[in-house]
Amino acid sequence: MRMRLPEERPAEPPTGYKIAHPMLSQDGTRAGFTGVSLGGALPYGVLDEARCVYGLRHRAPHRRCDCGFHCVHDRTAAEAMLCTAEHRAAVLLEVTVLGGYIRFELGFRYARQRVRIATVGPCACGAVAVALADAGWGRPGWRGLAATCAGCVRGRTAVSLATFARLGGEGLRVRAGGGVLPAAGTELPEGLGVSELVAEAALLQARLDWFQSQLAQLGERGSGQG
């Protein structure tokens, strides 16, 4: 007599969190991600179906295999993985768990997913990222990308965060996480060829100007009090 696992029928698909490396296709027309551990050899799209990493023909997730997408329930647990040296260049993903899944104490192993939000960390120099640039590694037909500021692109293949979201499709949202805002007068490298990058840099500068004006007003109020 075989024991069957309990089945769940949630009113809405569960939400999970994971980390992954952003990827750009060789021809620059598609954006995706690749895992940081078991599934790192198989880049996937924003909306995609899991495949067995061992090449077996069963459907993922199989109870007797490790295949399937993986995520955790808690955002903080996913963010903690970004602290390790080998994962510093990864991005944080918020995903919708689709299809069949197996629930674990910390998360899910599941058949399909939709990446809703990708949060990009700061550039290696510490500045707020405005683009994703060639990281110097990849998979067949795909380039690995890493967060970069305008000053550190230096002629590498790069796409702005907005362009990456557009190439990913399916309503993907890409946003910059932490980092230091660029100094006033920072210029973009010539020949980058990414118009959205100019717009995002201008937006960051506008935010910096706004914060500086607010600080100036606070200073004036403080000096007027006796």
- At residue 206, does pLDDT exceed 70? no
Residue 225 contacts residue 149 (beta carbons within 8 Å): no
Residue that has been written with the tokens 């955002």 in this structure: 75
Alpha-carbon distance 101 to 197, whole Å? 38
Q: Stretch 53-68: mean pLDDT, rounded?
A: 84
Strand partners, 107: 72
**105: phi > 0 → left, psi -120 to 50 → alpha, else beta; which?**
alpha
Residue 69 contacts residue 50 (beta carbons within 8 Å): yes
Q: Stretch 149-171: mean pLDDT, rounded?
A: 93
pTM for this entry:
0.78
pLDDT band at 44 (very low <50, low <70, confident <90, very high): very high
Strand partners, 18: 93
Instruction: Count the Cβ atoms, other than its own, within 10 Å of residue 174.
Output: 23
For 17, 113, 156, 166, 168, the CA distances from 108, given in Å and listed in that order, are 10, 11, 36, 28, 23
